[in-house]
Amino acid sequence: MIKKWDGHDSIKWYKTQNPEEPSALMNVNPVKNSYAALWDEYKAHLSSVPLINVVGKILEYYFLASADTD
């Protein structure tokens, strides 16, 4: 994570607990692309109607992205 203030820069590691080694920390990127954000939204929804919309967006993103690489 890079922060700027008063003409100075600061770099700080964004750490979280490593799921494979609970006693260890790992550096992660806190900025997510829209595809990763959709999956987080999918995991958080309990109601079926918003969930259907999120799944539709995930599929649309996946197929549009794979069509661009072909």
Taking only the tens of pLDDT, the chain with its 70 residues reads: 677 888 888 887 778 888 888 888 887 777 778 888 888 888 887 788 888 888 899 899 888 876 666 5
Cβ atoms 38, 54 nearer than 8 A: yes
- Distances in Å between the Cα of 6 and the Cα atoms of 1, 3, 10, 14, 62 are 17, 10, 11, 22, 42
DSSP state of 23: T
Domain count, the chain: 1
Q: What is the residue range of 41's domain? A: 2-69
